[in-house]
């Protein structure tokens, strides 16, 4: 069974940094583009970023462009989201997700809270 396990969330002060990780198992990680999607408390889903299988293509939502950096390590079957200059509006559950058409597989999410 495909597994995606996020980690690295927590409470962080505005302006500080945090790095999220997503560990993948039970599928050929290196064949799939990967995404982060976030959900603020009581709000809807927001796509954050995408990275292609070989890291040659990376996209970001306008709301995080210039502050977040997405990367992956196919040998370690891991996805990373470096989040800098965090703001209160970045507070959300962050999901790692992938699929061939639509997002079939999702992790359980990791909560990031930006607050002083």
Longest CA pairwise span in the chain (Å): 40
Nearer to another protein, 66 or 102 (CB): 102
Q: Which is nearer to another protein, 5 or 84 (CB)?
A: 5
Nearest 5°: phi and psi at 73? -130, 100
State in angstroms the smallest separation of the CB of 11 from another protein. Answer: 19
110 binds another protein (CB under 8 A): no
Among 5, 61, 67, 91, indicate the residue that binds another protein (CB under 8 A): 61
């Amino acid at each position: 069974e495909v597994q995606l396990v996020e980690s690295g969330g927590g409470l962080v002060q505005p302006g500080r940094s945090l790095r999220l990780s997503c560990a993948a198992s039970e599928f050929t990680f290196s064949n799939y583009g990967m995404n982060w999607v976030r959900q603020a408390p009581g709000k809807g889903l927001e796509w954050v970023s995408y990275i292609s299988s070989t890291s040659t293509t990376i996209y970001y939502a306008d709301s995080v462009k210039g502050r977040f950096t997405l990367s992956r390590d196919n040998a370690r079957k891991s996805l990373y989201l470096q989040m800098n200059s965090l703001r209160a509006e970045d507070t959300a559950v962050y999901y790692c997700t992938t699929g061939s058409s639509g997002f079939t597989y999702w992790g359980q999410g990791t909560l990031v809270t930006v607050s002083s």
